[in-house]
């Protein structure tokens, strides 16, 4: 039993965008589409409010962007303490290991 949905949009849609939307509704269960739309709406709201969490690459760059070789050396010598602090901030182990790799590169530049 086919249902019809009518939506009012502020933006004009291209024919390609209309085809994509139709294919999503014909190929996917509505529950999955609603989950995706909820995610997109939450992301949009966070982006609009300026609270969108940054990705791993940005986190790593923020941690090492202005570190001197001496600071990198100290952090590597006190690595267990650094791990504890990074975990307290919610960083994953892959993120922490990438930070360590960049700190080692900074230390070796000296």
Asked whether residue 98 falls in the same domain as residue 68, the answer is yes
First CA to last CA across the chain, in angstroms?
Answer: 70
- Which 8-state DSSP code applies to residue 110? -
Residue 8 lies in a domain: no
Q: Does residue 73 share a domain with residue 41?
A: no
Same-domain pairing of 63 and 96: yes
Task: Give the span between the Cα atoms of 110 and 105, in whole angstroms.
Answer: 9
Q: What pLDDT does residue 101 have?
A: 93
Same domain for 75 and 97, yes or no, is yes
Give the integer Cα–Cα distance in Å for 73 and 79.
10
* Predicted structure pTM score: 0.50
φ, ψ dihedrals at 31, nearest 5°: -60, -40
Q: Let me know if residue 38 belongs to a domain.
A: yes
| Residues 60 and 105 placed together within one structural domain of the fold | yes
7, 30, 49 — which closes off a domain?
49
Q: Are 82 and 75 in contact (CB under 8 A)?
A: yes
Considering the domain architecture, whether residues 61 and 97 belong to the same structural domain is answered as: yes
What are 5-35's pLDDT values in tens digits? 888 888 899 999 999 999 999 999 999 999 9
Residues 44 and 70 in one domain: no
53: pLDDT strictly greater than 70: no
Residue pLDDT, tens place only, 55-78: 667 778 888 888 999 999 999 999
- Same domain flag for 61 and 44: no
Q: How many domains does the chain fold into?
A: 2
Range of the domain at 30: 15-49
């Amino acid at each position: 039993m086919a249902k019809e949905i009518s939506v009012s949009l502020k933006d004009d849609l291209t024919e390609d965008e209309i085809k994509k939307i139709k294919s999503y509704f014909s190929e996917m269960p509505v529950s999955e589409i609603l989950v995706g739309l909820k995610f997109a709406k939450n992301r949009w709201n966070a982006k609009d409010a300026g609270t969108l969490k940054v990705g791993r690459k940005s986190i790593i760059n923020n941690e090492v962007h202005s570190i001197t070789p001496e600071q990198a050396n100290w952090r590597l010598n006190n690595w267990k303490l650094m791990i504890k602090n990074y975990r307290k901030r919610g960083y994953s182990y892959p993120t922490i290991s990438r930070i360590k790799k960049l700190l080692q590169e900074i230390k070796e530049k000296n």
